[in-house]
Amino acid sequence: MDLVKFENALKIGETAAIEFKRADGTIEMDTFETVCSFSNRFGGDIYLGVLDNGTVVGIPENAAPSMVKNFISAIGNPDLFSLTLYLEPEIFKYRKKTLIHIHVPSSGEVHSFKKRIYDRMDEADVKVSATAKIAQMYIRKQEIYTERRMYPYVKLKDLRLDLLPMVRILAKNNGGGSHLWEKLSNMDLLKSAGLYAEDHATGKNGFNLAAVMLLGRDEVIRDVSPAYQTDALVRKVNVDRYDDRLTVVTNLVESFEQLFKFATLHLPNKFYVEGAERKSLRNIVAREMLVNTLMHREYSSAYQAKFVIEQDRMYVENANRARFNGPITLRNLEPFPKNPLIAKFFRNIGYSEKLGSGARKMFKYGRLYSGVDPEFIEDDVFRIIQPLNENYSFDAEITNGKGGQKTTQKTTQKTTQKILAAMEDNPNVTISELSEICGITVDGVKWQLRNLTKTGRIARIGGDRGGYWEVCGK
């Protein structure tokens, strides 16, 4: 048993992947519910002999072996678990107290306990009965990209070939004036993009789901993915219903254009000068949010995607094949393509950039747009939440509304704290890395560094190359 890991768990407390159980000589039914929920979610660790608040009380030493035996018997009993599990609990000592550790890996199947399915939500084991939610759990367990699902009866006539001239122009412009797709026939272009391929499991050739979603005719998309649509809403005045609405059910290439136009119509435009270039913060933020919800959506799910603009925030949400549960930050960001073929197509035509760059741009320009960091939440339903503040202006470094100067001071203080924390974590952190961490420009970081150096909060030891930062005071 890794005691350092256990002590860290005590410090952190119960989470989506850590559970404490009292267990006075017997194993209660709620322990098996947690085993079921951990198996169905992303796995986790159960510690028997620990109170919910992290106090170690232990279990009777002479009862531990029989508890382990009964546990193994229960999880292997098909009358209790479907599908059955095989786990190896570990008895260990901590400060003279006997404890049991059960590591539950994430399973490739959906399990039930006493004919009930449980899922892990934050620190709770939740009974799942809704058909849509259960279906989403099965989607999460799939080991293949659903965008590669083959549709051998889809033909060229079922695709919007009239969009390919525009696709070639976009690819050419994105490629700096030339692109392979310029000279390829329609069929060769589709093969080059991976939209027509051979299914090595069946030996059949055909168009896949990615081809249908990217370029399919509307009636073909409805047949292949009946629940597919993106509902765009504005709820600033009529918050119970909506002020404006757009329902998008067409191919992804045109979906982006329609949704982006809707965003520009209803969002305030703010400009920012970066170097010698004047950028529209509205366009950058809206584009990244919309591309993300189109590019990484799980299209086999019936969950309806949304793009909602409210008075103080806007958000997108879509079905997702989650890799973990919780917020995504720059520190834990691990780029992972949910639909690599669709993502590659979007990158070729300039709708997106390299994997992971969209999230970094959102953290950087989202703060410039509203003064507050956006939120990325990874779960079966993926969400990006971007706060909105029409009165905020980064360039002016004040907000024009009531209490504006106070808001700016708080924002500056938070940025200072982020810089100091980053330097303490990594004294060799670069200015460009600080720019990404803080969500501000390189010039903004340099301004902060000058102030921090002038006030004695930090010092640069050594030169620009090979040197490091020293935090001198708090």
pLDDT (tens digit, 9 = 90+) per residue, 346-388?
999 999 886 667 888 899 999 999 988 999 998 889 999 999 9
Q: Per 3-state DSSP, what percentage of the chain is helix, strand, and coil (rounded to 5)?
A: 40, 25, 35
Burial of residue 266, with CB atoms counted within 10 A of its CB: 0-12 exposed, 13-18 middle, 19 or more buried: middle
Q: What distance in Å separates the CA atoms of residue 385 and residue 317, rounded to the nearest whole number?
A: 9
387-426 confidence digits (pLDDT tens): 998 888 776 543 444 444 444 556 567 788 889 888 888 8
Q: What distance in Å separates the CA atoms of residue 277 and residue 174, rounded to the nearest whole number?
A: 18
Which single residue is written with the structure tokens 């969500």?
A: 439
pTM recorded for the entire structure: 0.65
The CATH class, in words, for 398-471 is: mainly alpha
Q: What angle do CA 34, 36, 41 make, to 5 degrees?
A: 90
Fold of the CATH domain 3-129: 3.30.950
Averaged pLDDT, groups of 10, the chain, 474 residues long: 86 91 90 94 92 92 93 90 88 93 87 93 88 82 80 95 96 91 94 87 86 97 93 93 95 97 94 84 95 92 92 94 82 79 92 79 91 90 93 60 49 79 86 82 81 85 81 70
Which single residue is written with the structure tokens 């027509």?
A: 196
The CATH number for 230-336+352-393, chosen from 3.30.565.60, 3.40.50.1000, 3.40.50.300, 3.40.50.10800, is 3.30.565.60
Tell me what pLDDT residue 2 has.
81
Q: What distance in Å separates the CA atoms of residue 244 and residue 238, rounded to the nearest whole number?
A: 9
Segments making up each domain of the chain, as ranges? 3-129, 146-224, 230-336+352-393, 398-471
Q: What distance in Å separates the CA atoms of residue 403 and residue 413, rounded to the nearest whole number?
A: 16
Those residues whose C-beta lies under 8 Å from the C-beta of residue 315, and which sit 6 or more positions away, are 306, 307, 308, 383, 384, 385, 386
Half-sphere exposure (CA, 13 Å, Cβ side) for 10? Answer: 16
- Computed from CA positions of residues 85, 91, 94, 95, in that sequence, does the dihedral angle turn out positive or negative? positive
